[in-house]
Structure 1
Amino acid sequence: MTPTTVASSTAALATIAVDEPAGFRTEHDLLGDRRVPTAAYWGVHTLRAIENFPITGQPLSTNPHLVRGLAAVKLAAARANRELGLLDAERADAIEAACREILDGELLREFVVDVIQGGAGTSSNMNANEVIANRALELLGQEKGDYAALHPNDHVNLSQSTNDVYPTAVRIATVMGIDDLLAALSELEDAFAAKATEFRTVVKMGRTQLQDAVPMTLGQEFGTYAVTIGEDRERLRESAGLVHEINLGATAIGTGLNAPAGYAEAACRHLGGITGLPLVTAFDLIEATQDMGAFVHLSGVLKRVAVKLSKICNDLRLLSSGPRAGLAEINLPPVQSGSSIMPGKINPVIPEVVNQVAFEVIGNDVTITLAAEGGQLQLNAFEPVIVHSLHKSITHLTAACHTLSRRCVSGITANAARLRESVEHSIGLVTALNPYLGYAESTAIAQEALASGRGVAELVLERGLLTAERLEELLRPERLANLSA
């Protein structure tokens, strides 16, 4: 294979072929010999995966949490194997050093297989095995590819299978991503809470079914956004608990074949120490190896978050509609010109982008559902697309929350005078007077106000139904919004 042929496989391989010094080494697998770029830390199994899965153009390196998860699992396995007398100290130390470098963010560009792949994640596992093995060989003073000294399968993958390594790494990566999303949701919750305080005395009309309802404050409206985000944050935290259950030690189908007694316990203990996570080994490893239930549950919670964020953004777009022909109750911060043809137009682009992220997350949930249902017997071969979909949902929601908080919510202002005017001229105001005037009288006033365009308060005074002082007391902002309750 020529450098040109290798480079054409994927962008990742092309980058290596162009950027690195020329030269190849020969590696062997069950299909025969292949030439691998000398400078590459990955090997023949990774090369075949690069060629076989040119699907998304997104290599494993685009999911750094997953790469770190793979390195953490390999490090824990090396420590467990050494503890149980299966791996000598020299090789174990070299593997550990290589894993530590990956955990520190080095060698990331060497994780080049596409995120969506056949084989239930085998290509991802072998990419990690080969990178770790070849870096460990360097640390031992050996040449890359000298697998007689340290082998990707015999030593790095010792006591393991893709079917317990990959799901465990995925769970670690997912928890890391959830932590990022939880922080972003907390920031957004705080931003809405701050606006709730700022707008606590700004009276407006509430609406049901897009029709005038009863008065409230803009602070109450924004406070609901903070509360609903806080609720979702707690649901997300709860769902993350399910992801802490791992099947490391299950090997191929959960029977633990080729893993010695005590390995699962030792590997889980070491992995918990490496990651700082409260990991637990599943009670039934055969069930855990085939079950995708935790991911389905988590995806459902992510969909819940997305739906609520999208609803909030719909509200923000509606409340800020205008500036003259819409509701124009609030002003979103202008962040860019809105039109290539209409001068002066400003669009609600930040809520719009969050809406689109929400639509994507909902679609990802469908993908995850189908992939989880599609697994057969003792293994789900479709975990790569589950992982990719979860990764997109989590990372894009995280970015969307930061963007909405920093580029929109923090800069929202209220059109207080317009809001007050809408209250004073709304027939919904009569609801506050209903206990004092009676339903029939209140209905008559509402009908006349709607037909004549006159205000409710004006008609009440004209009919002598209440004194000006009593009416003023009943229409106080604090009472209208029931702030004393």
Structure 2
Amino acid sequence: MTQHDSQVRIERDSMGERQIPRHVYYGIQTLRATENFPISGLKPLPTYVDACVLIKKATAITNGELECISPELSQAIVAAADEVLSGKLRDQFVVDIYQAGAGTSHHMNINEVLANRALEILGDEKGNYQRVSPNDHVNYGQSTNDVIPTAIRIGGLLALQQTLYPALTGAIAALENKAEEFQDIVRSGRTHLQDAVPVRLGENFRAWAQIIQDHETRIKTAAQDLTVLGLGGSAAGTGLNTHPQYCDRVAQILSELIDQPLRPAPHLMAAMQSMAPFVSVSGALRNLAQDCVKISHDLRLMDSGPKTGLKEIQLPPVQPGSSIMPGKYNPVMAEMTSMVCFQVMGYDNAIALAAQAGQLELNVMMPLIAYNLIHSIEILGNTLAALTERCIKGIMANSDRCLAYAEGSLALVTALNPYIGYLNAAAVAKESLETGKSLRQIVLERGLMTAEDLAKVLNLEQMSAMRSTQR
């Protein structure tokens, strides 16, 4: 055998033979996919790989228990899966995210890696698929068509639990803390970017906390659909080539592996065909992203300046802001947040388009949905965590600037409406704007109110206090 020959092994599939580098754990179908799809250079997300491998572990345990494969093979496949879940062999998942419809190429990449590692665990050589086959053993009772939609569900649940939910909790807590810290600071409200009645800076932050909390509730509600699995439907949802007890047992084992209340779908074909659960979760993410953009823009406006903007708050400077202007600091964490949120909105649009593009028994756009949904969850979670730690927690209030704007706002005249009427109040505001006189001075000069009554009405503390709520 030549040195060149010793570096490869020969594998066969229905299309013929190919030489595979001896050191790799993927096989011939993965090789063909890498040749067919040199598209983006993007490889499957680690969380998505975890989801697929967890499914393979659960199915290997189930098929071993049901004597569909031997205990020896079941144990070897489970051991191989555990190694991947511990972080090994991660460089072996190499298929571009834009690939064969439904995700067959990625699915076979998973099957081949686990089969070849299981062979080594059994003391055999990679490529001896007579003993451990990617199709006949690792994939027993399964199909791309039920594994991939299940993997999207599992991947989404993992990403939510590991990334987004902790970030949401942290952001809500940080905003609530700032709400307490800034509760006594009065600032001018603004509607249409024009002066409005005074508000408390703390209530701005409390409102943002409530907004994020409401989104967390919506996302968790949408995510409940991810716990309903079509795994066991096999190729078309009929359960062909599966054991009668397989569907229930594999859902139970997966539930234990990820500590989530998973259950089989009442109609496996429906669960395989419809992408509605993913559209629902993605829509909830988009909704969160839209409000996060609004909040990030508010932060930037309130921090604008330092000399020519509002500068009601100071966002923590985390890096120099200009390559030419010394001493400049930019609201980079808020800017980054908006960029990520725009990307999530784009992903949501692509998911919606992909979800309606299925035909008959299968949606072939699942690889796109898998990447976009899980990536959206993870980048939103990472963004909120970074924004919380490197921006929200370090925000400082410019209380003097806030008070000056509040006291100088013509919108204070709104509080006079019940006492002097709308038209008189409008005339007072107009004269104040034209002459520069204060509202108090004009009201007293016109004899519209007594000084004592006016002091009570134009009390900024009372005007900006929140009315009673259920808090």
Normalised by the length of structure 2, the TM-score is 0.95
* 1:359 maps to which of 342, 345, 365: 342
- Amino acid aligned to 2:194: Q
Equivalent in the alignment of 2:243: 260
1:106-145 equivalences under 5 Å are 106-145=88-127
Equivalent in the alignment of 1:87: 69
Instruction: Establish whether residue 275 from structure 1 lines up as the match of residue 258 from structure 2.
Output: yes
Instruction: Establish whether residue 51 from structure 1 lines up as the match of residue 35 from structure 2.
Output: yes
Equivalent in the alignment of 1:150: 132
Equivalent in the alignment of 1:186: 169
Instruction: Establish whether residue 73 from structure 1 lines up as the match of residue 61 from structure 2.
Output: no
- Amino acid aligned to 1:48: R
Secondary structure of the residue aligned to 2:12 is strand
Please, which runs of 5 or more residues in structure 2 have no aligned partner? none
- Amino acid aligned to 2:137: H
Which deviations, in whole Å up to 9, do the C-alpha atoms of 1:332-386 show, x marking residues without a partner?
1112222222222222211111111111111111111111111111100010011
In 1, Cα distance between equivalents of 2:260 and 2:90: 22
Please, which runs of 5 or more residues in structure 1 have no aligned partner? 5-20
User: By how many angstroms is 1:169 displaced?
Assistant: 1.5
Instruction: Establish whether residue 37 from structure 1 lines up as the match of residue 21 from structure 2.
Output: yes
Task: Verify the 8 A CA contact 1:253 1:286 in the aligned structure 2.
Answer: yes
Equivalent in the alignment of 1:17: none
* 2:439 maps to which of 441, 448, 456: 456
In 2, Cα distance between equivalents of 1:323 and 1:142: 69
User: By how many angstroms is 1:475 displaced?
Assistant: 3.0
In 2, Cα distance between equivalents of 1:163 and 1:257: 12
- Amino acid aligned to 1:88: S
User: By how many angstroms is 1:22 displaced?
Assistant: 7.5
1:163-312 equivalences under 5 Å are 163-179=145-161, 180-312=163-295
Q: 1:242 to 1:23 in 2, by over 3 A?
A: same
Instruction: Establish whether residue 435 from structure 1 lines up as the match of residue 418 from structure 2.
Output: yes
1:403-414 equivalences under 5 Å are 403-414=386-397
Of 328-337 and 157-166, deviating more is 328-337
Task: Verify the 8 A CA contact 2:200 2:465 in the aligned structure 1.
Answer: no
Which deviations, in whole Å up to 9, do the C-alpha atoms of 1:306-337 show, x marking residues without a partner?
10000111111111111111112111111222
Task: Verify the 8 A CA contact 1:132 1:152 in the aligned structure 2.
Answer: yes
In 1, Cα distance between equivalents of 2:422 and 2:67: 85
Task: Verify the 8 A CA contact 2:48 2:374 in the aligned structure 1.
Answer: no
Of 290-299 and 21-30, deviating more is 21-30
Equivalent in the alignment of 1:160: 142
Of 376-385 and 414-423, deviating more is 414-423
Equivalent in the alignment of 1:10: none
Secondary structure of the residue aligned to 1:121 is helix
Task: Verify the 8 A CA contact 1:116 1:388 in the aligned structure 2.
Answer: no
Secondary structure of the residue aligned to 1:328 is coil
Equivalent in the alignment of 1:395: 378
In 1, Cα distance between equivalents of 2:235 and 2:256: 25
User: By how many angstroms is 1:260 displaced?
Assistant: 2.1
User: Highest relative contact order (Cα 8 Å, sep 6+), 1 or 2?
Assistant: 2
Secondary structure of the residue aligned to 1:28 is strand
Normalised by the length of structure 1, the TM-score is 0.92
Equivalent in the alignment of 1:386: 369
Equivalent in the alignment of 1:13: none
Equivalent in the alignment of 2:10: 26
- Amino acid aligned to 1:407: R
Which deviations, in whole Å up to 9, do the C-alpha atoms of 1:229-268 show, x marking residues without a partner?
0100111111110111111110001011111212111211
Equivalent in the alignment of 1:372: 355
Task: Verify the 8 A CA contact 1:425 1:454 in the aligned structure 2.
Answer: no
Q: 1:478 to 1:424 in 2, by over 3 A?
A: closer
In 1, Cα distance between equivalents of 2:376 and 2:166: 15
Which deviations, in whole Å up to 9, do the C-alpha atoms of 1:367-411 show, x marking residues without a partner?
111111111111000100111111221121112101211111111
- Amino acid aligned to 2:42: Q
Task: Verify the 8 A CA contact 2:319 2:329 in the aligned structure 1.
Answer: yes
- Amino acid aligned to 2:399: A
In 2, Cα distance between equivalents of 1:347 and 1:453: 34
Equivalent in the alignment of 2:404: 421
Q: 1:309 to 1:275 in 2, by over 3 A?
A: same
- Amino acid aligned to 1:134: N
- Amino acid aligned to 1:325: T
Equivalent in the alignment of 1:319: 302
